[in-house]
Amino acid sequence: MNELDSEAMAGAMSELGYDTAASEEDADVIILNTCTVRDLAEKKALGKIGALKKLKDANRKLVIGVAGCLAQQRGEQLLKRFRHLDFVVGTREIDKIPELVAEAMTRRRQMASLCPRRKIVEPTAYKRLHDVKAFVYVMRGCENFCSYCIVPYVRGPETSRPSSEITDEIKKLADGGYREVCLLGQNVNSYGKGLREKIDFAGLLDKINKINGIERIRFMTSHPKDISDRLIKAVASLDKVCESIHFPLQSGSDKILKLMNRGYTYSDYMEIVGKLKKAVKDIAVSTDIIVGFPGESEEDFRKTAKAFNEIEFSNSFIFKYSPRGGTKAAGLDDDVPLKTKLERNRELLTLQEEISLRKNKEFVGKKLEVLIESPGKKDKNLFTGRTRQNIIALFKPGDFKKGDVAGFIPSSATPAVLSGKLADK
């Protein structure tokens, strides 16, 4: 989401006549987009804001703004602590950035634009980082209030975009050569709530599946408590919807899930995974996990490790619990020592590597499908793409070009990459 927001910020600045600077030293305007989901992200942002002071000292005309979740949460404090900042802008006010920059150019005074519940004005332009595939917002905000999570406080209430606005944006992307869209929302499964039209996320997928030129549809993130049979059916039956779902489990222990206020048990989660695996051949399930949540005993952690072996995630993002001020869990004793959090994190990473390697090896020799994205970073003769299961593929492009969908037969596998040859589709 932050990547898409940054693309919107760059788009708004382009409309104002600005281009991307070669370096920070070279820039007239610097806007820092921040995250506050864990303490490390927040510390990094604070360090970076502090480090920008020397650029401001060297060039008084430089405009520096802070955007994103940290600005939303602590904007006024940031302005007081860092006098070299010109403005802070909240997560629902990206469209205000050009105005703030123009104002900062003419007058030196600190400004804050931080309304937490403002109606979002959709960006009129994005300066996108990628061609071929693009992120598209379908909804924003979250009202789940998982006990550890700051997002509902900094991203505001759930707000869905009308489906015609989304399909119009995707049609334009298709005309511009994009072949894959990843539909974004904190909880895409609650799409449609509060809209005048009667539509749910499965209905939206159906509409997008009909757009010419788009070859692939992905979406993120799905909350387990809201995955409906209609959605599973849509993933199974719509040809462009890829066989991959990101679906955070967070913990394998019911005791911890309850403390997290997740609204499901491990067996509820398993039931959905079972349905997905049955309905969609080769579906890849990826997940988010938090280790070291308050009260997580060795026995609780073992349940999470067991879940890895039972479910065999294709990929997982594992985080050490980090207390966030203002959340419910911040009132609990952060009683799992850092050393234990690190050990648990490492153990799950190792387990995931073994599982990913095993699963990727199963694909060797089978015909898959890739969307060709770009030349590889190390070897320019090799191109990268993704399989429908979202695994990175490496191959020689031959007669194919960027944006083509081609058959792909892997000949070797690592935990993260399949290497092989392209074949006709």
Query: By the criterion CB under 6 A, which residues form the site for ligand 5AD?
Result: 37-38, 148-149, 248, 250, 288, 290, 319, 321-322, 324
What is the phi/psi pair of residue 134, to 5°? -140, 150
290 binds, among ligand SF4, ligand 5AD, none (CB under 5 to 8 A by kind): ligand 5AD
324 binds, among ligand 5AD, ligand SF4, none (CB under 5 to 8 A by kind): ligand 5AD
Q: How far is the CB of 314 from ligand SF4 (least distance, A)?
A: 20
Q: How far is the CB of 355 from ligand 5AD (least distance, A)?
A: 18
Secondary structure class of 405 (helix, strand, coil): strand
Other CB atoms within 10 Å distance of the CB of residue 280: 20
Beta carbons within 8 Å of 39's beta carbon, 6+ residues apart? 322, 323, 324
DSSP state of 330: G
Beta carbons within 8 Å of 178's beta carbon, 6+ residues apart? 131, 132, 133, 134, 213, 214
Which of 38, 388 has the CB closer to ligand 5AD? 38
Which of 113, 186 has the CB closer to ligand SF4? 186
Concatenating the DSSP letter of every residue in 333-376 gives ---S-HHHHHHHHHHHHHHHHHHHHHHHHHHTTS-EEEEEEEE-
144 binds, among ligand SF4, ligand 5AD, none (CB under 5 to 8 A by kind): ligand SF4
Q: How far is the CB of 104 from ligand 5AD (least distance, A)?
A: 32
Binding interface with ligand SF4 (CB under 6 A) = 142, 144-146, 149, 151-152, 186-187, 223
Q: How far is the CB of 423 from ligand SF4 (least distance, A)?
A: 39
Q: How far is the CB of 192 from ligand SF4 (least distance, A)?
A: 17
Q: How far is the CB of 284 from ligand 5AD (least distance, A)?
A: 17
H or E segment and range at residue 30: strand 29-34
DSSP state of 129: S
CA dihedral sign, ordered 158, 162, 167, 172? negative
Rounded to a whole number, what is the largest CA-CA distance in the chain? Answer: 64
Which of 155, 240 has the CB closer to ligand SF4? 155
142 binds, among ligand 5AD, ligand SF4, none (CB under 5 to 8 A by kind): ligand SF4
Q: How far is the CB of 226 from ligand 5AD (least distance, A)?
A: 14
Question: What are 84's two structure tokens?
Answer: 């070299």
Q: How far is the CB of 260 from ligand SF4 (least distance, A)?
A: 8
Read off the amino acid at residue 416: A
HSE, CB side, 13 Å, CA atoms: give it for residue 259: 22
Q: How far is the CB of 236 from ligand SF4 (least distance, A)?
A: 24
Beta carbons within 8 Å of 31's beta carbon, 6+ residues apart? 9, 13, 64, 65, 66, 67, 97
Q: How far is the CB of 224 from ligand SF4 (least distance, A)?
A: 10
CA gap 236, 232 in Å, rounded: 6
Bridge partners, 294 (sequence order)? none
Which of 140, 216 has the CB closer to ligand SF4? 140
Bond from prior residue into 221 cis (ω within 30 degrees of 0)? yes
Cα separations (Å) of 334 from 216, 340, 417?
A: 42, 12, 37
Which of 144, 167 has the CB closer to ligand SF4? 144
- Count of H-run helices and E-run strands, the chain: 13, 17
CA gap 165, 123 in Å, rounded: 12
37 binds, among ligand 5AD, ligand SF4, none (CB under 5 to 8 A by kind): ligand 5AD
Which of 30, 146 has the CB closer to ligand 5AD? 146
Which of 148, 301 has the CB closer to ligand 5AD? 148
Which of 146, 170 has the CB closer to ligand SF4? 146
Question: What are 302's two structure tokens?
Answer: 């073992």
201 binds, among ligand SF4, ligand 5AD, none (CB under 5 to 8 A by kind): none
Which of 149, 394 has the CB closer to ligand 5AD? 149
223 binds, among ligand SF4, ligand 5AD, none (CB under 5 to 8 A by kind): ligand SF4
Contact criterion met (CB below 8 Å) for 383 and 376? yes
CA gap 141, 158 in Å, rounded: 4
321 binds, among ligand 5AD, ligand SF4, none (CB under 5 to 8 A by kind): ligand 5AD
Which of 159, 186 has the CB closer to ligand SF4? 186
